[in-house]
Structure 1
Amino acid sequence: MKRPSIAAALMLLMCSTFAETPADASQKAVLEDYITRINEKESEAMFCVATRINGKSIDHALDRTRRNSSGKGNKFYFYLSDRKLDPVPQKVTLRCEYAFARPIDAMLKPTPTLEGTIDFEPEAGKEYEVRADLDGPDWAIWIREVKSRLPVTKVVYGVPSK
């Protein structure tokens, strides 16, 4: 091997070895949906989900549950959704909706919903979940960090539409 080739190889090796890459550069944050108020027959429940990120529709627990329960009788087969997010500021649309496994129930019973968009800045390597307070006439939806259970976004408040 000639001398310039060895020098070039050593320089390439040193650059790749000492190149600074942030420890969290490859990590993402995780955001999980929330299912509550499941009735004993598992035919209805309250879903609190992230439906859009930066205006783009995303797959969520209610969509997955409906798809996987379709044609399987009067029971939901629940599926939680979680998605990996880049650790950058984002606009997330949150929605809480009471859903029924049987379409006829959705037509006959009220299906209250609340939706709102919030600013969210996830941190790499952390897990977050959509949470809600559904008691009383006003509902609230927000995102909290799983480990600390502390809210990390503003809260969407409102009277659910029916």
Structure 2
Amino acid sequence: MRALALAAALTLAGCASFEAATPPDYVGATVNVADQAQQVSGRLLHVFEMTQVDGRRLSTTSRATVSANQGRGFAVSPVALTNELPLRPARVTLQAMTQYAAPILAMTSPTCQVRGEVTFRPESGKAYRVAGRITPEACEVWLEDLDTGQPVTDKVSGRGTRS
């Protein structure tokens, strides 16, 4: 049931409009934040993505991956997006999720999805990525410094893939 709700949400999300991570009136320095999509198998990805910045809804890696893989049956290849954020503190919504090549696979396989908001204080000259882990015990997501691999936000945690 959880997987069916996730598939429906992703389908409906395609109807919404998205905004840039940097407001159109912003003038100044930005930092890059890259989503991550880890290929677990030919049918399964672990996706770690930023879905909102200060309430602005972003285009996401999970949606881009669904669009790029339509018609491929039970095969999936990741499409990871990046965002440029203003160099100022922000509230960002992060998400970790399992993403299968087809909804039927999600209905019969272990899944997880966790989403939450964290405060992010970017630093000039740095690059960041959305990181996380998906295991039977936990589903977690956070932002980390790309060079050092050190977390720069709190972790958003939820139930793992063990039902």
TM-score, L = length of structure 1: 0.75
Q: How many residues align?
A: 136
Q: In structure 2, the residue corresponding to 1:96 is in which secondary structure? A: strand
- Tell me how far apart the structure 2 counterparts of residues 88 and 136 of structure 1 sit (CA, whole Å): 36
2:78 matches 1:78? yes
Aligned identity (percent) is 24
C-alpha RMSD over aligned residues: 1.9
- Separation in 2 of the partners of 1:48 and 1:79? 12
Aligned match of 2:100: 100
Q: How far does residue 26 in structure 1 lie from its aligned partner after superposition? A: 4.1
Change (3 A) 1:106 1:135: closer
1:36 corresponding residue in structure 2: 38
Report the secondary structure of 1:142's partner residue.
strand
Partner Cα distance (2:136, 2:79) in 1? 27
1:107-118 equivalent positions in 2, closer than 5 A? 107-118=107-118
Tell me, in whole angstroms, the C-alpha distance in 2 between the residues paired with 1:152 and 1:69. Answer: 32
SS at match of 1:144: strand
Distance in 2, Cα, partners of 1:160 & 1:59: 25
Larger Rg: 1
Residue 30 of structure 1 contacts residue 125 of structure 1 at CA under 8 Å; is this kept in 2? no
CA distance in 2, matches of 1:138, 1:111: 11
Unpaired segments ≥5 residues, structure 1: 1-24
